[in-house]
Chain A
Amino acid sequence: MEINDFKSNDEITWCPGCGDFGILNALKKSLVNLGKEPKDILLVSGIGQAAKLPHYIKSNCFNGLHGRSLPPAIAAKIANRNLSVIVTTGDGDCYGEGGNHFIHNIRRNVDITVIVHNNQIYGLTKGQASPTTDLGYKTKVQVNGVILEPMHALEMAIALGCGFVARGYSANSEHLCWLIGEGIKHKGFSLIEVLQPCVTYNKKNTYEWYTKRIYKTEDDASYNPNDKIAALQKAAEWEERIPIGVIYRNEKDSYEDKSGLAKNIPLVDEEIENIDISEALKEFI
């Protein structure tokens, strides 16, 4: 497979310069590197700019409701574990509207990869604060600046024991491509939050602002992503220096292993026209 095999003919409606382009390219490259075929990939999304991404790749796509990208994604994976299921969601979709699913699907640990486009602002609704907007940032709604504490999603994920927690930067496509690949290879729920400048509505967290602060965790030889406490500290770094890379790894059994699903034939492959329930009915005699 080559990059062109993943080319979609759908017109892209993101703003020129949007950080989402970097994520789209990194994801395509990553799928090529992993030798995946479009027909075996399912991209699932909710609503927002990130949620449009599945249309811009040739692969199966389920673009559902706002905040509800995770439930159909994990269920599709449970129904057919031969699909590689990837969620493209945003800070509003995943951390705001869909916060409950974010928490409980980390606990559920179905083998899916979740890419959160975090631009720290609402783009599609034109510039209101998101759950990750920095304190004090002024918008048309938060006229005196944001007073709600930003949600620390990576720290939450680590606290919940998520098996793979990473942060990427949309302007560093090669590094992001590698992170996405690692996430897809990880067996279980993998979270990749991508810092993604919104060129229209976020005037603070710009390319320039990020470039000054970002460093790779891989460059620090002493950093051990298997250490939960160190990972929590690493994930909390912000404002001065911002780490990208694998923040936390926690190898454990996935939902598929624990539920026994992995031992049975995929649900979609079951022949259902002649199911015999006579033995089950006998329990009611």
Chain B
Amino acid sequence: MTELTIKIAGEAGQGMQTIGSALCRVFKKMGLYIFANQDYMSRVRGGNNFFQLRISDKPIYCPLQKSDIVIALDKKSVGLHQTDIAGNGIMVLDKAEFGIVKESKVFFNVPFHELANKTGGNDIYINTVCCGVIAGLMGLGFEYLEGVVKEAFSGKEEEAIRKNLLAAKSGYDFTKDNFKEDRFKINTVGARETLLMNGNEAIALAAIKAGCKFYSGYPMTPSTSIMDTLAHFAARFNIVVEQAEDEIAAINMIIGASFAGARSMAATSGGGFALMVEGISLAGMTETPIVVVDAQRPAPATGFPTRTEQADLDFLISAGHGEFARVIYSPGTIEEAFYLTIKAFNIAEKYQIPVLIMTDQHLADSLMNITPLDPHKIKAQRFIISRADAKKISGYKRYQLTASGVSPRAIPSWINDVIYADSDEHNEEGHITEDAQMRVNMVEKRFHKKIAGLTQEIEKPVAFNLEKAETVLVGFGSTYGVLKEACERLSNKKFGFVHLPQVWPFPTAELSLLLDGKSNILTVENNAGGQLAKLLMREAGIKVKSSILRYDGRPFNLDYLIGRIKELES
């Protein structure tokens, strides 16, 4: 086989993620390409969650609908996931333990409760037994698993390693003895160096590289692992990670830290972002650079806390009362999330504005083994009055009127003068004013002039096969992968796509050029309103033929999207 999808399903707390992570490490060692996504409920125990792992000998970017191997860790999973087994696939289950007597040609019965108890002494070892089963089904050499088990338990007691190895071997041997086919044998690829990470980790690492020194946030799924990752590295890079009492505090904190001169960021999801909105406006008014991540999840209100959606597009474009410049990036891949986060910090500081990074649960949580990031590709660039130059400043005006709308920004205590920043309308010194002409000058500074500059720095849309394409799919954010694979898979070459890594300022000129003469344009969006389609019309006068919308809280997968495209084309 050239590719394989494995799904591990069970109750929250049964360790699907543990098995999934261990397998990722095995496949990573083999040089295979990995795309792993999680589907989990908003609970710590019970329910039904799954970890889906797609591997291939060629680059892959999205999940598939059906799995070749489904591991059912509990009885409920057997019923829930039977319809998602691929044509040649199987379901691994423990029939005796689940009390299942009926036969099915897709069942591969493994007494994993018995094996776990025999080798490890209790049910905890089921995870390791299952890893052995999968390695056995795929006909892998046991040494891959052995290495990963040893790594995973390094620093733990010898006894734990020994028992886990025994458990893995029992699952492996049982499978070798009882499953004599090689239909899950995957092509090998030469070992290559990759990084295994998800979108949130990429954003956190980029923030470190970009010189973020202060992070504040209130934990909110699916953004929380950005905070976790930064906290993990905070001491090494002299970064302060402060858990706020609420999101209002978080955004006002990052504005204060940034005013003082430290690059600052917050991350949240839609509900938390809603609380931050007045702060976004404050950053616009006081011209304080900040970076805020909205890892979207289905709303309104609490919505589906652990699932995915792209319905905050309209909200983010207009979030914050009044008119001021902002930038919104919408990365489509883990790599793009990394590089755009560094750019976000640079642009925020250069234009003294809020920059928003809009992701979603699908990008935040999906794991890929990417080719190593180049930490030298984009540098952290500073746009402040340096400490050395600060000494020469006198008669400082924080909001000095300039052609670009950007005033030289001093850091408090670095200059001998003082700095006034105000959320009230203010004059060039930063003092409160009621003057009509000054109001006009300041609005033009914060809004028109900055937007004019930002329009020159738009992150270009990514286009694929547009010359030949009769139908063009357009998306933003995490749909990049599924658009790419769908266009490649629909081999008659009449499909192309455009991915927008930046949605504000809207890439009007770029899109007008790219989509010129195309009459069959479809937006692909994880929302119910077709928000991107409306934006295309409003900002660029581009009319789409239709929109493929998914708003059940689940990400697009390749089979699903192709099915929807074919429905429209027929």
Contact = CB atoms under 8 A, between A and B. Distances in A.
A61 B216 CA distance: 22
A284 B423 contact: no
Contacts of B255: 64, 72, 75
Contacts of A61: 418-422, 430
Chain B interface: which size bin?
Answer: 35 or more
B3 interface: no
A65 B193 contact: no
B174 to A, nearest CB: 32
A76 B257 CA distance: 4
B412 interface: yes
Contact of B256 (A52, A59, A76, A100): A76
A246 interface: no
Contacts of A59: 418
Interface in B214-265: 214, 216, 233, 235-240, 242, 244-246, 248-250, 252-264
Interface in A100-118: 100-101, 103-104
Interface string A49-69: 000101100111111110010
Nearest to B249: A71
Nearest to B417: A39
A104 B424 CA distance: 26
Contact of A65 (B211, B279, B417): B279
Contact of B211 (A62, A75, A261, A275): A275
A147 B209 CA distance: 55
Nearest to A61: B420
B195 interface: yes
Contacts of B422: 55, 61, 63
B251 to A, nearest CB: 8
Interface of chain B, main secondary structure: mixed
Q: Taking each of A52, A75, A260, A265, which has the highest tally of chain B beta carbons within 10 Å of its own beta carbon? A: A75
B526 interface: no
B211 A281 contact: no
Contacts of B519: none
A186 B381 CA distance: 38
Contact of B257 (A60, A63, A79): A79
A285 B423 CA distance: 46
Interface in A249-285: 259-261, 264-265, 267-268, 270, 272-281, 284-285
Contacts of B263: 272
B297 interface: no
B375 A73 contact: no
Given A79-B261, A272-B380, A277-B209, A267 B238 contact: yes
B259 A62 contact: yes
Contact of B196 (A78, A259, A284): A284
Nearest to A60: B412
A38 B282 CA distance: 24
B432 interface: yes
A284 B201 contact: yes
B213 A270 contact: yes
A274 B208 CA distance: 11
A10 B428 CA distance: 13
Contacts of B421: 61-63
Contacts of B99: none
Nearest to B206: A277
A275 B252 contact: no
Contact of A78 (B240, B373, B381): B240
A44 B256 contact: yes
A52 B216 CA distance: 27
B173 interface: no
A93 B264 CA distance: 25
Interface in B198-213: 201, 205, 208-211, 213
A125 interface: no
A285 B382 contact: no
B406 interface: no
Given A75-B216, A79-B256, A63 B424 contact: yes
A90 to B, nearest CB: 16
A42 interface: yes
A79 B214 contact: yes
A273 B382 contact: yes
Interface in A125-160: none
Contact of A267 (B210, B262, B419, B432): B262
Interface in A2-58: 10, 38-40, 42, 44, 47, 52, 54-55, 58
Contacts of A270: 211, 213, 238, 262
A40 B411 CA distance: 11
A71 B256 contact: yes
Interface string B134-147: 00000000000000
Q: Taking each of A40, A47, A65, A73, which has the highest tally of chain B beta carbons within 10 Å of its own beta carbon? A: A65
Contact of A280 (B205, B211, B262): B205
B278 interface: yes
Contacts of B193: 285
A176 B431 CA distance: 27
Interface of A: 10, 38-40, 42, 44, 47, 52, 54-55, 58-65, 68, 70-80, 82-83, 100-101, 103-104, 259-261, 264-265, 267-268, 270, 272-281, 284-285
Given A267-B214, A267-B238, A270-B262, 19 more contacts: A61-B420, A61-B422, A63-B422, A64-B423, A68-B249, A72-B259, A75-B216, A75-B254, A76-B259, A78-B240, A78-B242, A79-B256, A79-B262, A80-B413, A267-B213, A267-B240, A273-B211, A273-B379, A285-B194
Interface of B: 193-197, 201, 205, 208-211, 213-214, 216, 233, 235-240, 242, 244-246, 248-250, 252-264, 278-279, 282, 286, 372-373, 375, 379-382, 411-413, 415-424, 430-432
- Nearest 7 A-B pairs (CB), nearest first? A72-B256, A272-B211, A71-B252, A75-B256, A268-B261, A79-B260, A79-B262
16 contacts: A38-B418, A55-B420, A61-B422, A68-B252, A68-B282, A71-B249, A72-B256, A72-B257, A75-B253, A79-B240, A79-B256, A79-B257, A83-B260, A104-B245, A267-B240, A273-B211
